[in-house]
Each structure stands twice: as structure tokens, then as C-alpha cells.
Structure 1
Amino acid sequence: MLDYKIKTFEDLTNTELYKLLQLRSEVFVVEQDCVYQDIDGKDDKALHVLGYKGKKLVAYTRIFEPGLYFESASIGRVVVAQKQRKHQYGYELMEMSIEVIRIHFRETKIKISAQYHLKQFYNNLGFKEVGDTYLEDDIPHIAMFRS
């Protein structure tokens, strides 16, 4: 199990912010070969879920209360370092993020914009797809809800 820190943008240290942006860039820009605007002006409105293995950040999400990103609470920028995925940290990270939404926002309805190839992963966590696939940064995505 990873050690988790839950932080507002204001509570992030410079090092934590640097490391989370570095992890997001490693996966979403380099590994997925996708040029897109990761720093989108929304991090300051999110709660940040940081998962550490020892002192190394290996998993991360950002979560939003209802009405800030979608009408429902939401989880985004779901990322686990490539070399750590074999440990199934993605499930643990998402379960932690769902729990943070329940505790901090007293909410159970969650919407995500999921990469389509990860649909089964999110289905296993109780998310159901709604609507058709769409391209987001040239990657097929689908809207998914959990209640």
C-alpha cells in the first residue's frame, strides 16, 4: 500500500508541485506521445491525491468538488508511474480518491472522462460509461459515472 497525502494547491510544496507535474508529463506527454496543455489553470481549484512509495511519488489524481469541473464531483489526471503499474496501484489510488470525495465533499456521484482503453479498469471500480466515445487530445475517451 502506498502512503497518501491529500493537499490543496496552496498546501503543496514547490517540490511536491514539481514532482506531480513531472509525473503527469512523463506519462501523459512522453509515454502517450501526446502534446497537450497539462497546466490548464485548474490545479488551483483541485484537491491533490499524492501516492508515495517511500519518498518517491508514484501515483496521483486531482479531484474536484461538484460544479467546478463537471456538475458532479470528478477525478482526473489519474496517473501511476509506468514501472509501478504491475503493483495494481491504480485501483488503490482510485479507491482513495473516491473516499476523499466522500469525506471532503460528502458526495458519492462522480463523473470522469476516461481514456477508452481503460474502460474495464473503471468498470471494475463501479463506473458506468455514458454516451459515445470522443477525442480528447487525439485520444479516445468516454464519459463515465459512479453513484
Structure 2
Amino acid sequence: MMEWDIVRFEQLDTYTLYAMLQLRVDVFVVEQNCPYPELDDKDLHPQTRHILLKKAGKILAYARVLAPDVSFAGSPGIGRVCVAQTARRLGLGEVLVQKAIATAKEGWPGLDIHISAQCYLQRFYESLGFAAASEAYLEDDIPHLKMILAITQPA
């Protein structure tokens, strides 16, 4: 049985923390052959929310939702979105991002949601309502672009 959890850092038990970090390193460091500082202190922020999909003690999908000003000035952000290699092509990424959006809307109502998306995922994020807000740029030697999900209504 699969189970979704949305927790703060201090609510993570050591096994869940280990599995969460293992998935992130497997995806972002090993699969993408990209050495970068995975542990960036943003996990520890008291308002950060960790979204986890667990099955039999393994984490299949993960994302974190960051408070305004942690990564993006004045706006909440979504990051570290990943699905385990063995669980891809099941639609979990879409559900994961929808849960992250809902979490950001609940925590910071009325604020636009920002992401720094890998360029190859632009269409995926556009299908969930995000729009490109920058030209491509390199982040850890991988092409990214800033994308925004507009929540605020024009006056």
C-alpha cells in the first residue's frame, strides 16, 4: 500500500530521512551525474514541507515546498521533485506536483509559486499550469528555467 506524508523536518524519523536523502542523491547526483551540494540547509527551515510517497519503507516520490524568501523572493517554491526510477511512468510525478502546489497554496494563500525547472521538463510543468519566466540558464551545469504558477489575480 502506498502512503503520502507531508511533514516538517523534525517529524522525519531517521529511516525516512535516510530514504529521502538516498532517493534525492540517486536521482540528482548519480543518475544525472551531477555533483552538487545536496544538503543546503533548506530542508531544516521550520516552514519547509517534505512530501513523501512511501511503499514498504521505500520512498517512491519526493518534493519539498519552501516558504517565501527561502529560494524565491516573496514567493513559495517547489523543489527537489523526484520519482524513483522503478516508479516512473505511473503518473506519480503529476500527483506529486499537484500535492506540492496544494501544500504551497495552503501555507501561503494568494502567492504565486515558483520553481527552477530542468528545461526538459518544461512541457510537464506547463501541463500543471506553470509558465516559463526566464530564458534557460545553467544550474549545477544542467539547463534550467524559472517557471511560475500564477495564483494572484490581476487588479
Question: Would the TM-score normalized by the shorter structure come out above 0.5?
Answer: yes
Cα deviation for residue 140 of structure 1 reads 0.2
Partner of 1:65: 67
- Answer whether contact 1:58 1:84 (CA < 8 A) is retained: yes
Instruction: Provide the rounded CA distance (Å) in 2 between the counterparts of 1:60 and 1:98.
Output: 13
Instruction: Provide the rounded CA distance (Å) in 1 between the counterparts of 2:51 and 2:34.
Output: 23
Give aligned-pair identity as a percent.
43
Which has more strand, going by share of residues?
A: 1
Root-mean-square deviation over aligned CA pairs: 1.4
Query: For structure 2, which runs of at least 5 residues remain unmatched after alignment?
Result: 151-155
Partner of 1:18: 18
Higher mean displacement: 19-28 or 97-106: 97-106
1:50 to 49, 52, 62: 52
Query: For structure 1, which runs of at least 5 residues remain unmatched after alignment?
Result: none
Instruction: Provide the rounded CA distance (Å) in 1 between the counterparts of 2:111 and 2:92.
Output: 22
- Answer whether contact 1:108 1:146 (CA < 8 A) is retained: no
Deviation sequence 1:91-130 (CA, Å, 0-9, x none): 0000011111112232451000000000000000000001
Q: TM-score, normalised by structure 2?
A: 0.90
Higher mean displacement: 87-96 or 101-110: 101-110
Moved segments of 4+, more than 4 Å: none
Cα deviation for residue 54 of structure 1 reads 4.3
Instruction: Provide the rounded CA distance (Å) in 1 between the counterparts of 2:33 and 2:70.
Output: 28
Instruction: Provide the rounded CA distance (Å) in 1 between the counterparts of 2:135 and 2:95.
Output: 28
- Answer whether contact 1:48 1:61 (CA < 8 A) is retained: yes
Aligned residues: 147
Partner of 2:39: 39
